[in-house]
Amino acid sequence: MPPDSAHAATQAGFHAALWRPDPPQGLTAPAPDEVSRRFAVYRNNVHHSLSRALAAHFPVVAALVGPAFLTAMARVFIAEAPPASPVLQDWGAAFPGFLDRFPPVAHLPWLGDVARLEWARGRAVHAADAPAASADLLGVPDPEVLRLRLHASVALYRSDHPAVSIWRAHQPGAARGPLPPGPEHALVGRQPDFTVVVAPVDVGTHAVLSALARGETLARAAEHADPTIALTLLLRHGLITAPLTGDTP
């Protein structure tokens, strides 16, 4: 079927007017001078619904900058990187990088990293399901060959800034103390009860976890640091889905 070029042109005009002050040509209303106010409903719906979605994905960033600023900033971001699909949970990967270079938030150099942590949490919420392996499966195998399959929600997080502490200070009921200096590291993953955990870890444990997540053997991972804390965290939060003793991860 040939595309309907007249309708395509109508849509192009309608879309362009969402980002401009005047309504598109070709619209009517009982009182024609009210077309502009009526069209504004669509413009507001598009901007406000996307702005709300962004704030829902990045609630701590939204709290840090405040709702009025978030709405204004969202408008710039939406024009630059609108959602590429109707699945809004997949929208926002570019927001941390946008924050890194958006001049009005240059005085908050850690804001992009806070957004990266929130993005990792959002990814973890929707990651594929897999049952946690039981701890005794890990007891016997030789660390020289033991590799771990980690849950799809696992992300290893690092910031030059105290972004994990800033994020934690904005969780319900959190006490706010003086911020440590960066860098900070954390393990992000979804527990079997579906809650997403953000566990701060030291740099050595971060290296062990990163090596395990890359599919290296436990023996190789342990070259970075004592792996006890890493293994304990993974088991406590149900983030090992299978021990693997073959040669390939």
Partner 1 sequence: MPSLPVTTGLGFKPEHFRDIAAAPGAVGFYEVHAENFMGDGGAPHAMLAHLHAGHALSIHGVGLSIGGAGPLDADHLARLRRLIDRHRPESFSEHLAWSSHGAAWLNDLLPLPYTTGTLATVCAHVDAVQQALGLRMLLENPATYVTFAASTWAETDFLAEVVRRTGCGLLLDVNNVFVSATNHRFDPRAYLAAFPLEAVGEIHLAGHDTEELPSGPLLIDSHGRAVADPVWSLYAEVLSRIGPRPTLIEWDSDVPPFAVLRAEADRARALLETRGRADAA
**Beta strands 184-190 and 155-159, pairing class:** antiparallel
Give least dist CB 194 to partner 1, A: 4
Provide the 3-class DSSP secondary structure of residue 24. coil
- CB proximity list for 187: less than 8 A, separation 6 or greater: 154, 155, 156, 157, 197, 198, 199, 201, 205, 206, 209, 233, 234, 237, 239
Residue 164: how many other CB atoms lie within 10 Å: 26
Determine the interface stretch with partner 1 among 102-110, 124-132, 141-149, 202-210 (rule: CB under 8 A).
124-132
Residue 113: how many other CB atoms lie within 10 Å: 25
Which residue in 20, 21, 30, 178 binds partner 1 (CB under 8 A)?
Answer: 30
CA-closest candidate to residue 118, choices 84, 70, 175: 70
Please tell me the count of residues contacting partner 1 according to CB under 8 A: 51
Q: Does 191 bind partner 1 (CB under 8 A)?
A: no
Give least dist CB 244 to partner 1, A: 21
Which residue in 125, 137, 145, 174 binds partner 1 (CB under 8 A)?
Answer: 125
Give least dist CB 239 to partner 1, A: 14
- Which residues in this chain contact partner 1 in the complex, by CB under 8 A? 1, 3-8, 10-12, 14-15, 18, 23, 26-31, 34-35, 37-39, 41-42, 45-46, 49-50, 53, 82-89, 91, 124-129, 152-153, 190, 194
